Chain A
Amino acid sequence: MRTNRLAAAAVLATALAAAGCGASEPTQPAPAAQPQSSAPAAPAAPVKLTYWTWAPNMDKIVKVWNDKNPDIQVTVSKQAGGDDAAAKFLTAAKAGNPPQLVQAEYQHLPSFVAADAVADLSAQAAPVKGEFSEGLWRLVTLGTEGVYGVPQDSGPMMLYYRKDLFEKYGIEVPKTWDDYAAAARKVREQDKNVFLGTFSSKDPGSFAGLSQQAGGQWWSIAGEAWKVAINDQATTKVADYWGKLVDEGAIDDMPYFTPEWNKALNDGKLLTWPSAVWAPGVLEANAPKAKGKWAAAPLPQWSAGENASGFWGGSAVAVSAKATPDEKAGAAAFISWLNTDPEAVQLLVKEAFIYPASTKGTQSLTTPPAYFDTQADFWQQAAQAAATARGFTFGPNVNAAYTAYKDAFDKALANKSSFTGALKTMQDATVADMQKSGFTVAQ
């Protein structure tokens, strides 16, 4: 039965969209008790919605909406972010008491869809489709006819580097990954305490972004079955590359976001960080002393003349499948406003420190982040990275794949074994987990 819920959902959505062609009624049939005349955008009784999110200061942004829309009142409940939030939402959905609105990282959305936990908003969210790039919109449709959320933020990747220390060690900004490797060796020759970069075995999101850049496609839907190709050629190339650098000691192997890493950034012991557009906030908080010394450049390429990037992070706002039609309509109106209205997007940038998904929102960014105030073209760089970033389809068990990544690469670092082997372990664990959950996986 669970062979391919995504495909089934897509077929269902198409049928419903065809049936309700031109009408603005919600796709779900309203219960008999609901008055037929109530328009979806303005329900008779005030709708109360709970919104699980981890974006900072979201309460302030929601207050602006609540003041203007007495009929649709949203309450923010701030949760722990990332994987925890996804697991908690899935559990709540299974137990039958999920919030109506939930922030969902793009990689977790497919697991929500597979569990029938989020509503298809193809009818309500259609008007805002044009506000987002094709690539981002694909992340909320999962390549189907359905729409399972409205994009909020995105994380195109760039290479962040210490300008001042690059000058000190006589390094050019690397254009290709080969340049990057050469620079890494050059740094080590001059100073044994300094590394050009580090490979983090704790951040599968970063590795996924680098694999996207190389052209990896970890999951795809082939007819009735899922295809898993985590150890495809492109990703193997990425894993090999970093494995070799770690093995010869050209780069460090400490994980990101640890006190040790913070200290290295502060002390100038780490010169680069291939990271996403949200890096300035992290650097500002964790390495405040180096303000103005970092700069952003395009990610190094696999061959000269290419121009590609990947995504690390980013999220959408989804609506629970358990929400009533009135709640769904109100929720769709709210998330459309939140992520496309110029005032709301401005607030998201200013208060929640996100890089907005809305195309107009990214264009409205002019003043570089305070930490990068010496780089006037920061947002142009970001826009270019966003335009060239390759995404990929995420599968329904990203959690399992990411856990396997951490285990396998941790072990590879500890045993000094090959990264290709770790990648194979990750692939096998992901396939096994999908089969155990009842998905058909094409070999």
Chain B
Amino acid sequence: MKRIGLVPTTILVLGALYCLFPVSWVVVAATKTPGELFSTATFSFGSGLFSNLADLFAYRDGVFWLWMVNTLLYAGGGALLSTLVSAAAGFALAKYRFPGRNAIFNVLIGGILVPGVVLAMPQYLLFSKIGLADTYWSVLLPQILHPYSIYLARVYSQAAIPDSLLEAGRLDGASEWLLLRRVALPMMVPGLVTIFLFQFVAIWNNFLLPFIMLGDDGKFPLTVGLYTMLAAGANQPSLYNLIITGTLVALVPLIALFLTMQRYWRTDLSSGAVKS
């Protein structure tokens, strides 16, 4: 047993190091003043964390907070709406038989294969046509319909909701809407939390869509906002220390979200383990 465990453990530890190394660099680099950033040893802490934070929050009258609120709105609102749509669509595809069901499902599978990056440009042109470019909706709407989440919701509801339970509900006279709300949704919660987290992280990290859609810097999410500080034009120095500190601060809500949602993840994993 011990000998077998050694190899996977080593691989996992290496993987964890590989993932955590850049993050730890961000943590260390965020403490350095601009003078220390490129002149001190890579992993020695600097003395400028608080001045960096103060500078970041003072940058353009605190526009960083506005970007943070925007990002929370895009990621939180987008993920919530996306989860609801995916739940309803996945449940319907799993539990109802209707003409075209397989066709719709196959199109969705195809949709998974199309990277969102490819769609950003056509979406921008379409949104421009209907006058929605450069609005909050232009970033929210395209991220609500997410084929992979629907696929997950379908697979999950197929496995987690017994047909007999729905039948019993129908015999008792429950409407389909009531079945979805009171029977299906509660049983799907662990799966939905997974979908919510997936979507939240995806939207939080999304750069290209908001970059293309938005012109008004008051509507930027953090990714695009920080980028404007990096690409400050050839003749302007990049604000490296502010960007690194901004990246670090932007990680905090994500970490908080994962810590609070952790127990749902566990439920999800164990429920999968028990099922046969």
Contact = CB atoms under 8 A, between A and B. Distances in A.
Contacts of A59: 60
Interface in A243-286: 257, 259, 262-263, 265-267, 276, 278, 281-282, 284-286
Nearest to B63: A78
B235 A79 contact: no
Interface stretch (B74-82, B95-103, B211-219): B211-219
Interface stretch (B14-22, B223-231, B261-269): B223-231
Contact of B227 (A80, A96, A284): A80
B228 A82 contact: no
Contact of A95 (B133, B232, B239): B133
B276 interface: no
A114 interface: no
Contacts of B121: 91
B39 A92 contact: no
A79 B228 contact: yes
Nearest to A95: B128
Contacts of B238: 257, 285
Contacts of A314: 235
Interface in B48-68: 60
Contacts of A153: 235
B229 to A, nearest CB: 9
Interface string B117-146: 000010011001100011000000000000
A55 interface: yes
B233 interface: yes
A54 interface: yes
Contacts of B128: 95-97
A96 to B, nearest CB: 6
Contacts of A88: 211-212, 215
A78 B233 contact: no
Contact of A266 (B38, B228, B230, B240): B38
A438 interface: no
B5 interface: no
B35 interface: yes
Interface residues of B, number: 33
B260 interface: no
B34 interface: yes
A361 to B, nearest CB: 16
B8 interface: no
A289 interface: yes
B124 to A, nearest CB: 6
Which one of B34, B128, B233 has the greatest number of beta carbons of chain A within 10 Å?
B233
- Chain B interface mostly helix, strand, loop or mixed? loop
Q: How large is the interface on A (under 10, 10 to 19, 20 to 34, 35 or more residues)?
A: 35 or more
B10 interface: no
B1 interface: no
Contact of A54 (B39, B125, B232): B232
A62 to B, nearest CB: 12
Contacts of A95: 124-125, 128-129, 133
B107 interface: no
Nearest to A155: B235
Given A92-B215, A95-B133, A282-B237, A56 B232 contact: yes
B231 A81 contact: yes
Nearest to A99: B215
Contacts of B212: 88, 91
A54 B34 contact: no
Contacts of B211: 80, 88
A82 B234 CA distance: 7
B217 A79 contact: yes
A266 B34 CA distance: 11
A77 B129 CA distance: 22
Contacts of A343: none
Interface string A304-315: 000000001111
A281 B232 CA distance: 12
B236 A77 contact: no
B35 A276 contact: no
Contacts of A80: 211, 224, 227-228, 230-232
Interface of A: 50, 52, 54-56, 59, 76-82, 84-85, 88, 91-92, 95-97, 99, 105, 153, 155, 203, 205, 257, 259, 262-263, 265-267, 276, 278, 281-282, 284-289, 312-315, 353-354
Q: Nearest 3 pairs between A and B by C-beta?
A: A81-B233, A285-B237, A278-B235
Given A281-B236, A285-B34, 20 more contacts: A54-B232, A56-B232, A77-B215, A77-B217, A78-B60, A78-B228, A79-B217, A80-B211, A80-B224, A80-B228, A85-B233, A91-B121, A95-B133, A97-B134, A105-B234, A155-B235, A262-B37, A266-B39, A313-B233, A314-B235
